[in-house]
Structure 1
Amino acid sequence: MNRHDSVEERTFAALPPARGRGFAETWWGRAWLAALEDGALDGEQVRTGRRLARAGAVGAVSVRPGRVTAVVQDRDHTQHRADVLLDRLSDDQWDRLLDLAVERAGHVAALLDREMPPHLVEDAESAGIDLLPGLGDLEAQCDCDAWDHCGHTAAVCYQVARLLDQDPFVLLLLRGRAEQSLLDDLQARGSAARSEAEPLRTEGGGVDAAEAYAAGNILPPLPAVPELPPEPGVPPSLDTDAPPPAGVEPAALEILAARTAAAAHLLLAEALGEGAERRAPTARLTVGQDAVRLAEGALDVPGTVDRPGEAVLGRLATGSERSRAELAAAVRAWRHGGVAALSVLEEEWAVEGEAFARARAALDSAWEEDDRPVLRARGNRWTVVGTACQLRLGRDGRWWPYREEGGRWMPAGDAAHDPATALAGARPDSEEALS
């Protein structure tokens, strides 16, 4: 018998219906629901449970070590006792977990603020202790005689997610320890740890750095550098039964999430690359540049003319003071070279002095005299006479190919230091037009 088994039970009054809101707002609440949704064999039963919980069909919830119990009223008004079981931690596992908790003062402070510190969960996992349930860890028992999760046990799980959002000690009770018992144990361990640290204190009451360093075990070892995932993570689906709140557009949020995942993947790739510590920080995007970046994601939304990204594109065009055609051209430029390519598309500048001399020399040496195209210059733009092709010079000295399409000059390829190479990218079959 676990030495902490006595008086460890809490009962929570039935919660009101959850219409118009999600069930889990914290990362640990979402992890609880992931264990249910990923582990249940019948997805339809999970959806039924979500509807029951959303309608307020779950009664008072009783939580004790290893078990959650509630009465759930079905749609036909019949009532069923539903239990969800989760393995308790052993005394040895609790001892190791509490030792980890007192190593970092922030762990206890976070728990007292009713938050689950992610580092505590990660440290516990490294020590072989699973605080949060994983795939198949939530066992179902219901008097409706279902052999796996039914709508009733799923409804209880959704209701528990709401309780976990409010108080992570509910999870710790399920794993075997009540809040007061847990806090008393943490306080005792913290006092013992402070007593052991006394020999390191100097006369002034501080800790001598040399002694502290020599003592070791002051800080946990740094984790290994993560490997770069092969592609950005998949953002969560916002396709739920609940209508979105006023002013919230799910399609726009999905685009933002997808672009954020792509940007995070790129930042990680740059951080893991050689010499990352010596690179200068990237300048922040302007509102107009960021609108183009987001529009690229909106154009990637699959579908027809009625695709969800269309409304987002319209707002991005208006907000960045561009027409839809101008925004499409800007997105094409962005795909060829980001901020630099966008500047070449939208800026016309006078090439003078040394910059003009270098440009002229590059054009003269790019072709043999007999093969040199006839170019008409205007600012940093050289149009090939008699064709629908153009070269644009960027401020960094690279040349960008452009092609005339429907009366508008459009980016036609990537930049090159050699103008002849760049001009080859302006051939009509090198790229499809964006819609």
Structure 2
Amino acid sequence: MTEARGFRAFPVRSRRRHHTWWGTEWIQAMEDTAVDSGLTKRGRRIAADGRIGPITVSPGRVAAVLDGACQTAVTVEALSGNAWAALVAEASVQSGHLAALLDGYLPHALSGLVPGIGDLDAQCSCDDWGNPCQHAAALCYQTAWLLDGDPSLLLLLRGRSMEELTAAIAEHRANPPVCLTDPDDPTPTTLAAEAFARPVPPLPEPPPPATEELRLLSIEPPPGIDAGALYGAAATAVTRARLLLAAG
């Protein structure tokens, strides 16, 4: 089971102005859904003022106590089975992806780890009506600082670990899937390489030219549209289509 990790409180004046792309995306996911931008601005100041206690990162949750009283948490859903399989497949394409993550960099190919708009849920014991409140916003900013230094924390937040990812990549490379199938659809799926290798079948014979008299369906025109003009435009379109078919 993936274990929680604890981090010391950031000291006063720990403001960070430059973020990694994944730290920036984390903050964007919070700010773009904020009800009150004033609360997020106050949260940014709180993050820099050293009012947040030690931070605990656990599967699906990052939590801290602010000002010694407000219990604040930000939650994010764990990766689904399909999302995890897609992440493992992407990470298996190049060995450099895993090496980069171990070295403290998150490749864009693994962007599925980063929460998007609407993926973060704030909880706090304060009386603020905003979502997130200033305390949860502050926690989000400091969490981004942690993610800047260690993007593997995104794996922990998503309910996984580096050990699981490493093992899954090794398994994927040792036993690559023959084809991808929908578990709800028993019909086998053809690999793309196999499909492209097949010869192109001949086109079917063109339909015989129309010889009967032109007849259009009677359709009630919308309000404000001249019925005669609509019929004439349809007749012109059908006639041109017939000429194009006849000409091959």
Matching of residue 119 in structure 1 with residue 109 in structure 2: yes
Matching of residue 54 in structure 1 with residue 52 in structure 2: no
Aligned pairs for 1:84-95 within 5 A: 84-95=74-85
Structure 2 contact 2–59 (Cα < 8 Å) conserved: no
Residue 177 of structure 1: how far off its partner (Å): 0.4
Gaps of 5+ in 1: 1-5, 122-129, 197-213, 218-435
Structure 1 contact 64–174 (Cα < 8 Å) conserved: yes
Structure 1 counterpart of 2:87, from 90, 94, 97: 97
Residue 20 of structure 1: how far off its partner (Å): 5.7
Q: Which amino acid aligns with 1:72?
A: L
Q: Which amino acid aligns with 2:3?
A: E
Note the alpha carbon deviations across 1:216-270, whole angstroms, 9 max, x for none: 99xxxxxxxxxxxxxxxxxxxxxxxxxxxxxxxxxxxxxxxxxxxxxxxxxxxxx
Structure 1 counterpart of 2:169, from 170, 186, 189: 186
Residue 166 of structure 1: how far off its partner (Å): 0.6
Distance 2:55 2:124 in 1: 14
State the structure with bigger RCO (CA 8 A, min sep 6), 1 or 2: 2
Matching of residue 146 in structure 1 with residue 128 in structure 2: yes
Note the alpha carbon deviations across 1:36-93, whole angstroms, 9 max, x for none: 11111111111111111101111111111211111111xxxx5211010111111232
Structure 2 counterpart of 1:9, from 4, 15, 18: 4
Note the alpha carbon deviations across 1:172-218, whole angstroms, 9 max, x for none: 2111102222222223323335xx9xxxxxxxxxxxxxxxxx7899x
Structure 1 contact 53–155 (Cα < 8 Å) conserved: yes
Please report the RMSD computed on the Cα atoms of aligned residues, expressed in angstroms. 2.4
Structure 1 counterpart of 2:155, from 160, 165, 172: 172
- In percent, how many aligned pairs have the same letter? 43
Structure 2 counterpart of 1:82, from 63, 72, 75: 72
Return closer, same or farther for 1:80/1:20 CA change in 2, 3 Å cut-off.
Answer: closer
Return closer, same or farther for 1:59/1:91 CA change in 2, 3 Å cut-off.
Answer: same
Gaps of 5+ in 2: 179-192, 197-248
TM-score normalised per structure 2: 0.66
Q: Which amino acid aligns with 2:133?
A: C
Aligned to 1:332: none
Per the alignment, in what secondary structure is the counterpart of residue 66 of structure 2? strand
Structure 2 counterpart of 1:25, from 19, 25, 46: 19
Distance 2:109 2:125 in 1: 39
